[in-house]
Chain A
Amino acid sequence: MRVLYRLEFLILATVLMACQSSKTEPLPYLGPHQQLGDSTVYYRVDSFAFFNQDSQLVTAESLRGKVYVVDFFFISCPTICPVMTKHMKELYKRYQSDPRVVLMSFTLDPRHDTIPRLKRYAQKLGVSAPKWNFLYGPKEDIYSTAAKFLISASQEDDSDPLTIIHSGKFVLVDGEGHLRSYCDGTSKEEVYRLAEDIDRLLDEMADEGYD
């Protein structure tokens, strides 16, 4: 009988350890990377500067140490953006009280989505910065920033940039600007999976000593 108990305990412990190890397994680093001797230099997005709906400048540097989710949208989008925004709001609610997580929605239509319009949009959604930044800047800068995030995350460098930009992707970025995961922002299931990846990334960062 005692042997049976021991066996049960061993099985339980093994299952628990397996769960634990899959939970803490680091997320992959996306995009191209270079091998320099023994060390690997991973792709990172380390420079951008845009104004949010409160006219505050948000830069890559100001997000250092934060986990952030990026998407590209525009307020007048008649097709996929409303679904993406609904899913982003789910993430907003889930991480509302966690200062380590930030959401970043860049407008693709700065001619119409001015800062005051973005502000009204955020208010209507019942969300606010600095948790959820709606970002405004020159169109060329937005497109080049999108290319840095999305094309590298999708690893589809030959594809049409606007098709990828307007593909509804959410990209997960770590505290160093590395791209770590992405999903289809129009799919509820995929966004749930991304939320699990955010949790894994937060665990990983806690292990590395980030607050």
Chain B
Amino acid sequence: MKYALFIIWMFGISVLVSCKNRKTDSTDLPQGLTKQEQEVYRRLMAVHDSAMAKMGAIERAIQTLQRIKSAGNESADFKSGLDSSILLLKHADEGMWDWMYHFKQKVDWSGKGTYLSYLQAEERKIHHVAALIDSALQRASQYTNKE
């Protein structure tokens, strides 16, 4: 009986330790963020990750639209619609790369400063980039769905 209790106790301890490790094992988080800053950071990274997952679709849509355009037989209006759709896709693609470039560059991540207002502003920006990606893909879908 004592032995069984010991096993249960050890199991409980190991679960607690592993949960604690999971919470603190945030290697992707910059050092020195407050709890609130960590929350915003995690939230904006979730938006980033979900938008980043659509970057392959952006690349594919650009290629498809360029292929349709080079096939030739469409009207001038149709071609100009294709052009603006390609432009939107490229703009959305560059928006993501630019956001990532500036996000790391603008701030000293050594943990000496306060980051809340910066992270909140970046959260708004990444939402904007994600919306650009969605609308560019939706606009392109009127051509890609016909393929």
Contact = CB atoms under 8 A, between A and B. Distances in A.
A34 interface: no
Contacts of A78: 28, 45, 48, 100, 103-104
Contact of B101 (A79, A112, A161): A112
Identify whether the interface residues of A are mostly helix, strand, loop, or mixed: loop
Interface in A50-85: 74-79, 82-83
Contacts of A79: 28, 45, 48-49, 52
B57 A160 contact: yes
A83 B25 CA distance: 13
B39 interface: no
Contacts of A82: 28
Contacts of A111: 94, 97
Size class of the contact patch on chain B? 20 to 34
Contacts of A77: 100
Interface string B21-54: 0000001100000000000000001001100110
B93 to A, nearest CB: 10
Interface in B1-32: 27-28
B105 interface: yes
A74 B52 CA distance: 13
A109 B104 contact: no
B56 A162 contact: yes
Given A111-B94, A161-B59, A76 B27 contact: no
A163 B104 contact: no
Closest 3 CB pairs of A and B: A162-B56, A160-B56, A76-B100
Given A83-B28, A162-B55, 18 more contacts: A74-B100, A76-B104, A78-B28, A78-B45, A78-B100, A78-B104, A79-B28, A79-B45, A79-B52, A82-B28, A83-B27, A109-B97, A109-B101, A111-B97, A112-B97, A160-B56, A162-B56, A166-B52
Interface of B: 27-28, 45, 48-49, 52-53, 55-57, 59-60, 94, 97-98, 100-101, 103-105
22 contacts: A74-B100, A76-B101, A76-B104, A76-B105, A77-B100, A78-B45, A78-B100, A78-B104, A79-B45, A79-B52, A82-B28, A83-B27, A109-B97, A109-B101, A111-B94, A143-B59, A160-B56, A160-B57, A161-B59, A162-B55, A162-B56, A166-B55
